Every structure is written in structure tokens, then in C-alpha cells.
Structure 1
Amino acid sequence: MAAIITVSTEHMSYEEWLAYRKKGIGGSDASIVCGMNRYKSPVELWMEKTDQRPYQEAGEAAYWGTQLEALVRTEFTRRTGMEVNLVPYLLQNEEHSFMQANLDGICEHPKYGPCIFEAKTASAYKCGEWEEDSLPDEYLLQIQHYMAVTGYRGAYIAVLIGGNTFRWKFVERDEELITMLIQLESDFWNHVESSVPPPLDGTDASVKFLAERFPDSIPKSQIRLPDTASPLIMQYETACEKVEQYTMQKQEAENLLKQMMGENEVGSIASKRIIWKSMSQERLDSKTLKAEHPVLYKKYANKTSFRRFSVKEAV
């Protein structure tokens, strides 16, 4: 086993678990580091690891996944005859100490010996992701990360889908994928240790990071941009043109559909329902309030500041 036991998790509080989690990269972080996670970006993860963003609480699906873990483990043993032993420890790779693993369990493979066991639950809508030999990319990266930490040659992953469909798969160790993971995770952890963010992307996390890092501009200050700015400006302007084009196409389709519906509130065709419903809401007329009650307006008005971004032709 190429892993070191760092601490027991048997009586560890949630707060202590979070503190240890920030000290390295766990299995559920692997897909985020690789930029293949549907719910979190590398910048968001970096902000969590560097205490610039609170850890995001697990959603309802993750909560029930944890609650049903024992049930999935028991059913796996019933169907395969293989006992699953719990691992009440936080593990780390012997060579790369930032690589952590909090395993659901281990079991004995007849050929490869000790192997990882991972329990999952999934929505019925995601049944297709578990067909035949396939499984979601984030889980494949997670168990390969665990194999990188432990040195094990395989992993069993069992899943309860939609509350009534049970499947399990065996995944062999992939040395090429593990080499890639170690490199990407090493690069990411260098960003954490140096407090330099990973390459920014188009997510809200990157927007938030820049707004907090550079909240105000220095009046009339200028800078000569590097040559790498040119393709980014081209990318920005092209995207703006496409947004304008698609916005018009969207509005045209909406207008024509409204014309078809007339005074009707709901229209249907095949598997689609179009709703054009009358709504009412009250809004504060701030302009009138400011004109007629300036003192009251000033008392309750909130002043906000932001930096407006634009690209224009040089004069």
C-alpha cells in the first residue's frame, strides 16, 4: 500500500473533516482539478482551499447518498459475496502528500488482492451514464485518484439508481490516467501553495474572484497589454457578435410563438408546453421617490460600486 494514514475519521467532527480536506486534494476534487466537473470549477476549488470561499455544503442528493452508503455496501456484499471493510482513516499518498483519500471501504479481489470499494446513488434520469461498462467521468477520476493514493490495482463501484436499480462494476488501475492526474493535481496544488489562482475561465467564480481582487480602478491609469491580449479581444468581440445574433433569433422565435398563441395562456405541441401568462408585481418608483422625498430616498438608498468592462477602438 502506497498510502500513509494521517488521522482517524471515526470520531472526527464535520468541522475537523473540513479542516483536513483543505490540506490536500481528495477524490471528489479530482474531476474539478481536471476541469471535468459539472458543478464546480478549478477556480472555485482553489478559492475554497485558500480560505477565500466557504466550503459549499453538499446538496440534497449528496446528503442521501451518504445516508444510503451502508445500504449500497450491504447489497454489494449480498450480490457478490465479497465483504467490504470500512477504512476509518484519512489517507495520503506516500510520495505526493497533497493527494488524499477517504475511502468508503476496501474488499478483496480474487486476482488483484485488496481493492477500493466506492458506494454511489444516482437519479433515474442518469441511468444512461451507468449502462454496460460506462460510468460518469467524475467517478472514474475519483476512483483512479484513490488508486493513485493507495497503490491498489482495482476498484469496485456500486450504485443504486432511482432507488430501485442496483449495479456494480470493477475498474482496473489505469497508469496513463493516473500519471495525468498526478501531474494536473501537482500543478493545481502549486497554485494553492503559492496563492496564485489557476487559469481563469468563464464561470461566475472567476468573475467573483476578479471583482474581489481588483474592486477599484486607479483614475486615468493606463497599461500596455501583452501580445496575448489580441486573440482574447478577438474572442470577446466574436462572442459579442454571436450573443447579439442568437439574442435576435431567440426574440424572433418568441415573438412568432406569441403571435400564434394570441390571448391563450398555454399552447402545446408534441412534448412541449408554451406558457404566456399574465403576471403582476409592484416595483418601487425610485425616480419619483427621489424627486418628492429626497431625504427619505437618501436615508434608504444603497450605494454600490462596480467596474464596467468594454472594448473600443483606440483613438
Structure 2
Amino acid sequence: MSKSTLEMTHDEWLLDRRRGIGGSDVATILGLNKWKSAYQLWLEKTGQVELDHTDSEPAYWGNVLEEVVAKEFQERTGLKVRRRNQVFEHPLHPFLRANIDRDVVGEKAVLECKTANQFLAKEWEGEEIPLSYLCQVQHYMNVMNYDHAYIAVLIGGQKFVWKRIERDQELIDMITERLVDFWETNVVEGVEPPVDGSKATSEFLNERYSEDGTEETTLPAEFDGLIEYRKQLKEDVDLITGKISEVDNQIKSELGKKDAAIGITPKFVISWKSVTSNRLNKKLLTEKYPEAAKDPEIYQTSISKRMTIKEIG
């Protein structure tokens, strides 16, 4: 089954995405998206947070350059592609959906168009494909019942790469199991997924609960166990940090004995050089320009919530 997107406004298209799992959601559910966690996605799919109606800069330029990438793919391969302005649904699990970039004419294949930062060029070397994109196109092949897919990417605005990906049924089955469980358990039944330790989740929680609470609450005893676990982790971090410093100091000592700024091993090049950074000397500013130091406009105030834990008794 499929539904047309031609008559949808951008807001309607965003709301429609709540009704299923699309290709861009796959990496998030699998834990491969460093910008968003499954917890955040769950809040979005269950309507607990407002949808972001603005595109990020990379997303905006990805959309702008999609046609350029598709045309270049045709030039390089001799294949023809076409738009399919539809949202396709899996025959057994209609909440599994695909809004593909292009269909390849005469083949049971999709084309996924990407743009990438030049610093990510290594992810595309040889046969390499970022795992998040590999899972995305396998999902599309599953929904569309296609045999293979193509990914074309413009890297840094100056290097073009395209690759063919064969259908991997074993991988598809693994992905599908995770997606179906997320939808049926977390979205339909409303079971909150685990709050993970990703940077994306941390930033989201800090932003969502930026205002100070007004109540005092009693937490269940299981949080005592969590806090004890946290204390142990902190001790482990201190131990690991100390071990890293020990290794660093051994390297610095050897470089210092040989008056070397560069050290070369069979596998690594080590640099130990001075780095200059400029910081405002507040004491000197106050002494030399006392009036300027009092001007509130020169100070940037930031407010953040800090969590502290103290043992009772």
C-alpha cells in the first residue's frame, strides 16, 4: 500500500510521519544515530513533544542537492531514476514505511541520495558504507520488496561516490524485529523505552526540563541501587583517568629526555607542542578598566541545572 505526498503540506507530512516508522527512524531505533535517541523518538511518535518544523542546515542542503546527486548518478551509471511521491507501507506491518528518494527504472531497486561532510570521506572509502545508511536502505528494500539498492553521495561538494547494495535478508530480519518491537511495545502499548546515556538524550532532558521544579518527591528504593552503581562508575572513571595520565606521562617523559616535539613509532606519530589560547584576564580588566568591568553587557550569562547527590545520615 502507499499514499501520495503531493498534496501534503510540510506540517501535514511531519504529522503523518508519527503514524509509522520511516527510513530516517531506523538508525535511531537501532542506536546508530548520535543526534537522536530512541527515547526522544518515542516521545515524538506518541505526541508527547512538539515536532520540530525547521530543518537543520545539513538537512536543508541535503534536500536542495538531492536532485543534483540523482542527475549525476544517472550520468555516471546510465541508469534512469524517477521520483515516487508516495509513502509506501509494508504489506504485513503497515507502520513500517518508506518514503524513498528515487526509484530505479527497470529494476527492483531504490536510489538513496546523500550529502556528506568532507571529514566523513573515510566512511565511504572502498566498499565502506555508514552502517546507519546501510540499515536504512535494507529497510526500504524490505518495505518495497526490492532486490537491491543504490546509494549516491556527494562528499564535501566535490567528490561523488555511488554504490550498489544487495538485499541482506538476515540483516533485514534483525532490523524488522527491532522496529516491530519498538512500535508495538513502546508506541502502541506506551511502554517508555530505557533512558540511555547518549549525548542526544542528555541535551534533550536538559532542554526539556530547563526550569527548576517546584515540588519534592520520594523516589523508589531502586534509585539507591542506581546511585550506588553511579558511585562505582565514578570510581572506575577516576581509575581509568589515572591510567591514561600514567601512559601520557611516560610518553612525555621520553619526549622530554630527547628534547623532542615529535615522536614516531612504527604505528603512530606523537606531537607534544605548545598551544596558545587567549582568555580574558578578569582581574586585570577590573584593575585597568573598572568602569568597563562593571558593564553587564560584556558578560554572557548562562543558566544550567546541576544535579548533586548527598548521602543521608
TM-score tier, shorter chain, comes to 0.7 to 0.9
Q: How does the TM-score come out when normalised to structure 1?
A: 0.73
C-alpha distance in 2, partners of 1:17/1:273?
52
Q: How many residues align?
A: 269
Following TM superposition, by how much is the alpha carbon of 1:83 offset from its aligned partner in structure 2, in angstroms? 0.4
Following TM superposition, by how much is the alpha carbon of 1:241 offset from its aligned partner in structure 2, in angstroms? 2.0
1:103 has 2:118 as partner: no
The answer to whether the 8 A contact 2:26-2:179 is kept is: yes
The answer to whether the 8 A contact 2:206-2:305 is kept is: no
Question: What's 1:201 paired with?
Answer: 196
Summarize the Cα distance change of 1:275–1:243 in structure 2 as closer, same or farther, 3 Å threshold.
Answer: farther
Can you list the C-alpha shifts for 1:245-290, whole angstroms capped at 9, x where unaligned? 677899999xxx9xxxxxxxxxx985966234230569xxxxxxxx
Q: Which amino acid aligns with 1:135?
A: I
Question: What's 1:286 paired with?
Answer: none
Question: What's 1:162 paired with?
Answer: 156
The answer to whether the 8 A contact 1:35-1:41 is kept is: yes
The answer to whether the 8 A contact 2:109-2:148 is kept is: yes
The answer to whether the 8 A contact 2:137-2:149 is kept is: yes
Following TM superposition, by how much is the alpha carbon of 1:78 offset from its aligned partner in structure 2, in angstroms? 0.9
Summarize the Cα distance change of 1:91–1:271 in structure 2 as closer, same or farther, 3 Å threshold.
Answer: farther
Matches within 5 A, 1:3-82: 4-6=1-3, 8-56=4-52, 57-82=54-79
Cα-Cα RMSD:
3.4
Following TM superposition, by how much is the alpha carbon of 1:88 offset from its aligned partner in structure 2, in angstroms? 0.7
Summarize the Cα distance change of 1:233–1:11 in structure 2 as closer, same or farther, 3 Å threshold.
Answer: same
C-alpha distance in 1, partners of 2:235/2:229?
10
C-alpha distance in 2, partners of 1:217/1:134?
52
Secondary structure (helix, strand or coil) at the match of 1:68 reads helix
Q: Which amino acid aligns with 1:36?
A: L
Can you list the C-alpha shifts for 1:207-254, whole angstroms capped at 9, x where unaligned? 459959x956556x464439xx74x4453112222445677899999x
Matches within 5 A, 1:168-247: 168-189=162-183, 190-202=185-197, 203-204=201-202, 207-208=205-206, 218=216, 221=218, 223-225=220-222, 230=225, 232-244=226-238
The answer to whether the 8 A contact 1:216-1:307 is kept is: no
Q: How does the TM-score come out when normalised to structure 2?
A: 0.74
Question: What's 1:137 paired with?
Answer: 131
Alignment gaps of 5+ in structure 1: 258-267, 283-303
Q: Percent identity?
A: 37
Following TM superposition, by how much is the alpha carbon of 1:307 offset from its aligned partner in structure 2, in angstroms? 9.2
Summarize the Cα distance change of 1:118–1:247 in structure 2 as closer, same or farther, 3 Å threshold.
Answer: same
Matches within 5 A, 1:259-274: 270=271, 274=275
Following TM superposition, by how much is the alpha carbon of 1:47 offset from its aligned partner in structure 2, in angstroms? 1.5
Summarize the Cα distance change of 1:64–1:277 in structure 2 as closer, same or farther, 3 Å threshold.
Answer: same
Question: What's 1:88 paired with?
Answer: 85
C-alpha distance in 2, partners of 1:65/1:209?
26
C-alpha distance in 2, partners of 1:195/1:210?
20
Following TM superposition, by how much is the alpha carbon of 1:311 offset from its aligned partner in structure 2, in angstroms? 6.2
Q: Which amino acid aligns with 1:277?
A: N
The answer to whether the 8 A contact 2:5-2:85 is kept is: yes
1:146 has 2:140 as partner: yes
Summarize the Cα distance change of 1:245–1:54 in structure 2 as closer, same or farther, 3 Å threshold.
Answer: farther
Summarize the Cα distance change of 1:216–1:246 in structure 2 as closer, same or farther, 3 Å threshold.
Answer: farther
Answer with 55-64 or 200-209: which moved more: 200-209
Q: Which amino acid aligns with 1:194?
A: E
Question: What's 2:117 paired with?
Answer: 123
